[in-house]
Amino acid sequence: MNLLAHPMEYAILPKVTIGREINVVTVCTVDHSIRVVTKIKNTMKKTKKKYGRYVALSVALSLLVGTIGVAQESTKLSDPEVAHVAVVANQIDIDYATIATKKSKNADILKFAQTMANDHEAVIKQAAELAKKLGVTPKDNAVSKQLLEDAKKKQKELNGYSRAAFDQAYIDNEVAYHKAVIGAVENLLIPETDNGELKALLENVVPALKAHLAHAEMVQKELTSKK
């Protein structure tokens, strides 16, 4: 598992926002570098239009250096740590759903949140059962910690929205969060998991995550069209 000094910032969360305009994918696996470069190119174009050529160039350079820099500082996650990350990532989405249940009055949002709570609960249950069967105790680690820390910030933010603004903010976050988790599970967790059963469980979860993402995008689209 090639994770980084500030793992969440670079490995799990796909978007780092610089200023208001620039979103950059900074994922450090090899197959992602192409995406990173493409993103950097796009960012340069955007920045150039807005701030001029030299600003664009320096932004792109700092991003590239950052990406290479973090790729060098890697850590390896053990299977108990992978299991812990999986549980934490699922729990975070349940917690977001709990906030939605309290704050939203929108039927689509409420139904989506209920599905998230139920499905992610089911995944946690299976992970717990597998861990028990394998005699593995999920182990806290830097990635889990960072995930939780970021989620705490997001939860605070979501709790702070007015009812009118909440639905959009919640569903936008669901789209972003599922994209990030899919990327992390497919490109980081699965390739580096040693135990076959744990790997199979993670692989089984991916279709659910992808269905959740498509569902979230559907609700997001409906919400936007109603505006």
Binding stretches for another protein (CB under 8 A): 115, 118-119, 122-123, 126, 204-205, 207-208, 210-212, 214-215, 218
CB of 110 to another protein, least distance (A): 13
Question: Which C-beta is closer to another protein: that of 74 or that of 126?
Answer: 126
Tokens 């955007």 locate to: 46
CB of 116 to another protein, least distance (A): 11
Instruction: State the minimum distance, in angstroms, from the CB of residue 221 to another protein.
Output: 12
Determine the 3-state secondary structure of 4 from DSSP: coil
CB of 109 to another protein, least distance (A): 13
Helix, coil or strand: residue 75:
strand
Cα–Cα distance, 11 to 29 (Å, whole number): 8
Report yes or no: 31 and 170 within 8 Å, Cβ to Cβ: no
Amino acid letter, 12: I
Supply the minimum distance, in Å, between the C-beta of residue 177 and another protein. Answer: 17
- Between 45 and 111, whose beta carbon lies closer to another protein? 111
Nearer to another protein, 107 or 164 (CB): 107
- The rounded distance, in Å, linking the Cα atoms of 84 and 107 is 33
Give the residue among 124, 115, 113, 119 at the shortest CA–CA distance from 89: 124
> Cβ closer to another protein: 42 or 115?
115
Nearest to 177 by CA among 145, 155, 204: 155
Which of 74/115 has CB closer to another protein?
A: 115
Give the DSSP letter of residue 23. Answer: E
